[in-house]
């Protein structure tokens, strides 16, 4: 990962770095920050509060979700997976885009399942009050089917697509983390030893610790803050 180096030449010139709007606890933003950190790409990090979104974020992306990356040429990337690919296609020193087993397209298909049905079940499980008539237990059971499939994959290899971490591991782990946190005792009691070990390794990785540092809410006019800082 890039070393901290916040010299004025790096950060204070207008448009010197891409701008990344992020929210620390958002799993989509987590995976984007990890890809940027491991790629060595530097950005200006703007930590936002989602209940009080800055006008600059909404001007860049009216949908108002994070992450949003505004490149130095003004191009806006407002989907987390696209931010990951933007960073890793520039520089991929740990070969996250080159899985040891399977293909990049297979990884993207599994990530799409995570972002689709599994995310909907995660939301129904964690936030049933937001969905009239939602059955949290049913959503947990459906989400567990996806996690059982991950467990089966991990019985063959240490990571989802081989022995080394790849894009799918980093893209999916923040959502498994969120699912596990809803009822940690229930999650820990499930017969998923490989999944538990995999999740522990992802959360114990230096890149995860790097991107989970806490920063104050961004305010217009404040000194720029570089990401990564480790």
Predicted pLDDT of residue 82: 98
8-93+208-227 maps to CATH 3.40.30.10: yes
The residues spanned by each domain of the chain are 8-93+208-227, 104-205
Confidence at residue 60, expressed as pLDDT on a 0 to 100 scale: 98
Tell me the whole-structure pTM to 2 decimals.
0.93
Q: What are the residue ranges in the chain where pLDDT is below 70? A: 1-14
Q: pLDDT tens digits, residue range 175-204?
A: 999 999 999 999 999 999 999 999 999 999
* Per-residue model confidence (pLDDT) at position 133: 82
Distance CA 106, CA 9 (A): 41
The predicted structure's pLDDT at residue 3 = 42
pLDDT of residue 9: 38
- pLDDT (0 to 100) of residue 7: 43
29-32 long-range contacts (CB < 8 A, ≥24 apart) are 29/66, 29/67, 29/80, 30/174, 30/208, 30/211, 30/212, 31/80, 31/81, 31/84, 31/170, 31/171, 31/173, 31/174, 32/67, 32/69, 32/80, 32/83, 32/84, 32/87
Does the domain at 104-205 match CATH 1.20.1050.10? Answer given as yes
């Amino acid at each position: 990962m890039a070393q901290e180096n916040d010299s004025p030449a790096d950060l204070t010139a207008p448009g010197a770095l891409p701008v990344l709007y992020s929210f620390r606890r958002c799993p989509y933003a987590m995976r984007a920050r990890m890809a940027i950190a491991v790629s060595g790409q530097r950005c200006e990090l703007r930590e936002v509060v989602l209940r009080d979104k800055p006008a600059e974020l909404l001007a860049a992306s009216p949908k108002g979700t994070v992450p949003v990356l505004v490149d130095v040429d003004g191009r806006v990337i407002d989907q987390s997976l696209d931010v990951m690919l933007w960073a890793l296609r520039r520089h991929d020193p740990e070969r996250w885009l080159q899985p040891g087993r399977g293909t990049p397209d297979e990884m993207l298909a599994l990530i799409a399942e995570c972002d689709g049905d599994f995310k909907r079940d995660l939301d129904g499980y964690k936030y049933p009050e937001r969905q009239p008539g939602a059955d949290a237990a049913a959503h947990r059971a459906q989400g567990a089917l996806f996690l059982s499939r991950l467990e089966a994959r991990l019985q063959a290899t240490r990571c989802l697509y081989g022995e080394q971490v790849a894009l799918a591991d980093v893209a999916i782990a923040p959502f498994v983390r969120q699912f596990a946190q809803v009822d940690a005792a229930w999650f820990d009691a499930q017969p998923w030893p490989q999944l538990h070990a995999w999740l522990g390794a992802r959360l114990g990785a230096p890149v995860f610790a790097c991107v989970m540092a806490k920063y104050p809410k961004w305010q217009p006019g404040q000194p720029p803050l570089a990401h990564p800082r480790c």
